[in-house]
Amino acid sequence: MIDIKFLRENPDIVKENIRKKFQDDKLPLIDEVIELDKQLRAAQLKADTLRGDRNRLSKEIGGLMAQGKKEEAEQVKAKVKEFSDELAATEVMETELGEKVRKIMMVIPNIIDPSVPIGKDDSENVEIEKFGEPVVPDFEIPYHSEIMERLNGIDLDSARKVAGNGFYYLMGDIARLHSAVISYARDFMIDRGFTYCVPPFMIRSNVVTGVMSFAEMDAMMYKIEGEDLYLIGTSEHSMIGKFIDTINDEDKMPYTLTSYSPCFRKEKGAHGIEERGVYRIHQFEKQEMIVVCKPEDSAMWFDKLWKNTVDLFRSMDIPVRTIECCSGDLADLKVKSYDVEAWSPRQKKYFEVGSCSNLGDAQARRLKIRIKSKEKGNYFAHTLNNTVVAPPRMLIAFLENNLCEDGSIKIPEVLRKYMGGMEKITP
């Protein structure tokens, strides 16, 4: 959510930003919210004046009564009641106008970084850099679920009977590999100075609307019936929520955290939920990283975060590349975003395994995450997040890039201590 003061003073900039995101249907909202904000500020001024007048007259009543001027006191009391009634009506108007302004501000997209490429959708995202040499072996690579099935590592049929499509049982060495990757990712991030955290796996609605747009919320979140709780779609939501309504010492910034959690997603409107395998699913586990920092440091942290994911995948000999999301592919709260994509030897192309986002002060403004400064007073923090690793999607890249011709899977050295010293998974 952008600053209403900024919008009030720079409506043309906000409108141009909306055009860059190809959301022209939102353009009328700018003039509408400016008019509502004008009415709101007038109502606030009127309410303040009425309170002042009411309080001034209220103080006169006692003096008049003490002087025996009962009739005059009654007249003042009547005037005080008149002010009180008018104030009550004005406060109702304040509340209604404030809610209208808030609802519109919640759907106006954040101002994107000037470096973001302009494009309508993900087909116009831009490749930034490749890391590692993509290899296509001279033997056929089966579909990832077939590789797992040959290793007795997955049971999709039973999962469909128990929970439906979009769920799975991981078994044996594949399940162990899944846990090994998560454990390695945890230690990898701890070694880079991040504090490890296991967050709540459910969050309240005020946190949900603080960290994402309404459209994202509707497409992703599962609500707990009868309670003000949602299952998290990713742990960054719970982790950013940790700082809700806080004033943080400038000297203690930044906060750098890495978190483990299961994740639950409706995948509403997503393509391929019925496809075989575990690429797009309703439940998975994930290691995440988040940063809460001073605004002047967020660009630096953005570069650090996506490079962490690249370094993790390269330490397992998986080729990756980074893609910058174009303006039309950015969620409304994001200032800038990179996707990290892993090489698929079977498909002979890259596919997404992680996403790094700088959200500026949008989440902090919604959740009231502030920094206390002696020189500048209180100001809003910047928040960033990035996927460290998200099995089982990451397992697809791992299995395809480490598959041997005999059907066995090589275990990179960095994972062996998490696999009991195992160097290969064999059929």
- Sign of the Cα torsion 19, 25, 26, 32 reads positive
Q: Is the peptide bond before 412 cis (omega within 30 degrees of 0)?
A: no
| Residues 187, 239: Cα–Cα separation, whole Å | 18
Domain residue extents for the chain: 4-105, 122-425
How far from the centroid of its chain's Cα atoms is residue 27's Cα?
A: 24
Does an H or E element contain 274, and which? none
pLDDT tens for 71-112 read 888 888 888 888 889 999 999 999 999 999 999 999 999 999
In the predicted model, is pLDDT for residue 321 greater than 90?
A: yes
Structure tokens at 393: 């999607």
260 closest CA partner among 223, 229, 235, 227: 235
Among the residue ranges 51-60, 112-121, 348-357, the one predicted with the least confidence is 51-60
Nearest to 15 by CA among 137, 145, 108, 113: 108
Share of the chain above pLDDT 90, in %: 83
**pLDDT tens digit string along 132-164?**
999 999 999 999 999 999 999 999 999 999 999
One-letter amino acid of 319: P
- Name the residue type at position 283: Q
3-state secondary structure of 187: helix
Q: Which segment of 71-80, 190-199, 233-242, 248-257 scores lowest on mean pLDDT?
A: 71-80
Domain 122-425: assigned CATH number: 3.30.930.10
What's the alpha-carbon Rg for the chain, to the nearest Å? 27
Which backbone phi and psi does 222 adopt, to 5 degrees?
-95, 125
Residue 57 pLDDT level (bands cut at 50, 70, 90): confident
Give the pLDDT band (50/70/90) at residue 423.
very high
Per-residue pLDDT at 269:
53
* Number of neighbours of residue 108 by Cβ within 10 angstroms: 21
Distance of alpha carbon 14 from alpha carbon 58, whole angstroms: 46
Could you give the CA distance from residue 41 to residue 233 in angstroms, rounded to a whole number? 38
> Residue 340 half-sphere exposure, CB side, CA atoms within 13 Å?
30
Q: Which fold has domain 4-105?
A: Helix Hairpins (1.10.287)
Stretch 266-270: mean pLDDT: 67
pLDDT digits (tens, 9 = 90+) for 172-224: 999 999 999 999 999 999 999 999 999 999 999 999 999 987 777 878 899 99
Cα(185)–Cα(179) distance, rounded to whole angstroms? 10
Instruction: Supply the mean pLDDT for the chain.
Output: 93
How many Cα atoms occupy the beta-carbon half-sphere of 232 within 13 Å? 25
Give the residue carrying structure tokens 């009127």: 46
Segment 360-383 mean pLDDT: 95
CA distance 257 to 287: 11
pLDDT of residue 270: 52
pTM value is 0.90
Given 3-state DSSP classes, what are the helix, strand and coil percentages for the chain, each rounded to the nearest 5? 45, 20, 30
In this model, does residue 276 exceed pLDDT 80? Answer: no
How many C-beta atoms lie closer than 10 Å to residue 227's C-beta? 10
230 pLDDT higher than 80: yes
Pairwise CA distance, residues 338 & 326, whole Å:
9
pLDDT value at residue 350: 96
pLDDT, tens digit, 9 for 90 and up, residues 324-343: 999 999 999 999 999 999 99
Q: Is 187 left (phi over 0), alpha (psi -120 to 50) or beta?
A: alpha
**Could you tell me the two tokens for 60?**
């006169």
Q: Is the pLDDT reported for residue 274 higher than 50?
A: no
pLDDT at 275 over 70: no
Beta bridge partners of 363: none
